[in-house]
Amino acid sequence: TPDPDFAPNPEAKPEEEPAPAEEPAPVEEPAPAEEPAPAEEPAPAEEPAPAEEPAPVEEPAPAEEPAPVEEPAPETKTAVDPETGCEYTFNEKGIPVAPEGMVIRYKWSFLGRLIQSDATVKYRYMILRRTLLAYKKMRSNVSWNFDSYFIGRKQIVKMKIRGKTLVAYFPIDPKEMEGTKYVGEDASKIARYKAVPFAYRINGARKLKYALELIEKVAEAAPDNAPEYIDKSQVGAAIPFESFDELYLKEYVKIGGFLPVTRSSSAVDADDDDDEPVNGQDSAVEDDDEDDGILTASAAEVKKEEFNFTPGKR
């Protein structure tokens, strides 16, 4: 049943439908903002003009070096031979130079000759020396001309080098050796050998063996100790070679006199036959065999420094 409260009113006019709402006019989009014009880059600053370099200062002209002062030439050392009155000079090494027309004769010490000997002579000498020093009371006296050996006051042997040969002088009467295998020379007419008149040249292996026998004969006994062994290859180190200049400066060689060039350079003393020239000069030797300035050493002392000794200087 219709609700009377809601019954239609016949007089009532029908409600007008509202007019449709007008669509709003489209909003105009704002015009895009104009981009600002790019700022003008400032004009690059002008670089300052480079400063003008100062004009180079003229260097003063170098002072002229004084002319070198000429050093006076070194004075030439001279000397006069007292025997002949011959004046001679020395070279820059201190070695004498003979005047024109002359040659120098030299006196050689025992050690000077030994040092310049060949290996064979040195080897034979070393064997004899070590055999002699194997005797307990043996002592060695080395003078300018000799290497002498003593037991007490008894002289056993005296050795020197004549030319290129080792010679041993024994206190034996040469007449006792006649007709034996010990073929030597009689040196008794020379005063310095009167105590050791039997000269025995050791110029071979057999002669070396015989010399060792003669040592035992004079010592009247064999060595107390076995001789220290030495190989022939060791003698170069034991007794190194030295030049004539080195020997002269060490006073192992000295001036013995002067000879004119016209004279035979082989002229030698009656007891020396070394006529080999040294450095173009005559090396003939005046024998001067006095045993002065002797350096004495016991066998033990000598073995410590086998050849570190100096002969007596005259």
Q: In angstroms, how far is CA 290 from the centroid of its own chain? A: 35
| Total residues found in the chain within this entry | 314
The DSSP letter of residue 25 is P
**What's the pLDDT tens digit per position in 283-294?**
333 333 333 333
pLDDT at 67: 75
The CA distances from residue 282 to 23, 77, 116, 223, 274, in Å, are 152, 21, 16, 42, 10
| 0.75 surpassed by pTM | no
Q: Which helix (H) or strand (E) holds 169?
A: strand 165-170
Q: Which of 65-79, 92-106, 256-270 has the lowest mean pLDDT?
A: 256-270
pLDDT at 49: 66
The Cα–Cα gap between 168 and 142 comes to: 14
The Cα–Cα gap between 308 and 50 comes to: 84
